[in-house]
Structure 1
Amino acid sequence: MAIRPILKYPDPGLSLPCEPVAEFDGDLAALAQDLLETMRAAPGVGITAAHIGVLRRLFVLELSPADGPLYYVNPEILSLGDETIRHMEGSVSMPGATDEVERPRQLRVRYQDLDGNVVEEDARDFHAVCIQHEIDQLDGIFWLRRLSRVKRERLVRRWQKEK
């Protein structure tokens, strides 16, 4: 397994939607392991295949080392709660840049595990925010697009100056 190079903002690959995963095989398991190692090295709590230039609908979350990694293949949000939460977000593709984003506080998601089994799960708070953030990336929506134009431009200027 390997730590892969991460696309950096504003790489156009970060704006491309990902294709569904059709084959649940050793290649998928190896990609998932590479994603986990790459995310840990970044460091981050979530990463999509798109972050490393692989346009497949797969992401990994590791919200706590004690709980271990969670793998989501072909995820789709089934429902969103009405209540919202504001949380600081960032990206492994834009290290050091963060801002507050408002999203639904809870959701229900359907996805497949690495063996192709269909799973439905309810998530709240930080877990729900992370799922929405990563599904956005799979859809080609970089997290900055969730900010107002003014906040986005200010953050990008500051990030470019720092790097």
Structure 2
Amino acid sequence: MTILNILHYPDERLHTVAQPITEFDAALQRMIDDMAETMYAAPGIGLAASQVNFHKRLVVIDISEEKNDLLVLINPQIIAMDGITTYEEGCLSVPGIYEEVERAQHIKVKALDRNGQPFELETDGLLAICIQHELDHLDGKIFVEKLSRLKLTRILQKIKKRKAM
């Protein structure tokens, strides 16, 4: 397995809308494994294919403490959501930045597993937030862009300052 390079905001490639996956071949299985290894090594709890410059509708998530409960979502779609919650989010593409973001509290998602088998999942809490965050990546959206213009400007200044060091 390979640890992949994670794109960092404000890289424009993060705004690319991911395309559906139609081939469930060995290359896709390798990409899933590489993405999981990359996420665990980062360390993170979720990674969208768009973050590693693979613009297909693929997400890997593992919110378990033991890091042994990998969830693979291919061509995921949220089909129901309700309630509102606020959670402090971070992102592997925006390292070191954590901000409160408003999300749906409860979601129902349909997707394909790594073998192309359809499934549905109803969830809330951290997993629901993580799924929404990663699906935003597939649509070319970054969590910091949900914030006020002032907060986003400060974050961009902080990123620019870090790069200059």
Which TM-score band (shorter chain)?
Answer: over 0.9
- Correspondence for 1:54: 54
Whole-Å Cα distance in 2 between the matches of residues 146 and 45 of structure 1?
Answer: 20
Whole-Å Cα distance in 2 between the matches of residues 156 and 55 of structure 1?
Answer: 24
- Correspondence for 1:70: 71
Whole-Å Cα distance in 2 between the matches of residues 51 and 158 of structure 1?
Answer: 20
Superposition RMSD in Å: 1.1
What letter corresponds to residue 137 of structure 2 in structure 1? Q
The alignment-based identity, stated in percent, is 38
Tell me which moved more, 60-69 or 113-122.
Answer: 60-69
What letter corresponds to residue 3 of structure 1 in structure 2? I
What letter corresponds to residue 45 of structure 1 in structure 2? I
Runs of 4+ in 1 over 3 A off after TM superposition: none
Partner-residue secondary structure (3-state), 2:95 = coil
* Deviation digits for residues 71-100 of structure 1 (CA, Å, limit 9, x no counterpart): 00000000111x211111121111111111
Whole-Å Cα distance in 1 between the matches of residues 140 and 80 of structure 2?
Answer: 20
Whole-Å Cα distance in 2 between the matches of residues 80 and 145 of structure 1?
Answer: 21
User: Please, what TM-score do these two structures have when normalized by structure 2?
Assistant: 0.94
Residue pairs, 1:2-151, within 5 angstroms? 2-66=2-66, 67-81=68-82, 83-151=83-151
Please report how far the alpha carbon of residue 26 of structure 1 lies from its aligned counterpart in structure 2 after TM superposition. 1.2
What letter corresponds to residue 21 of structure 1 in structure 2? I
1:59/1:73 contact within 8 Å kept: yes
Please report how far the alpha carbon of residue 113 of structure 1 lies from its aligned counterpart in structure 2 after TM superposition. 0.1
Please report how far the alpha carbon of residue 20 of structure 1 lies from its aligned counterpart in structure 2 after TM superposition. 0.3
Which sections of structure 2, spanning at least 5 residues, go unmatched? Answer: none
* Deviation digits for residues 19-55 of structure 1 (CA, Å, limit 9, x no counterpart): 0000112111110000011111111110011111000
* Deviation digits for residues 116-152 of structure 1 (CA, Å, limit 9, x no counterpart): 0110110101111000000000000111121111121
Partner-residue secondary structure (3-state), 1:80 = strand
Please report how far the alpha carbon of residue 65 of structure 1 lies from its aligned counterpart in structure 2 after TM superposition. 4.1
Which sections of structure 1, spanning at least 5 residues, go unmatched? Answer: none
User: Please, what TM-score do these two structures have when normalized by structure 1?
Assistant: 0.95
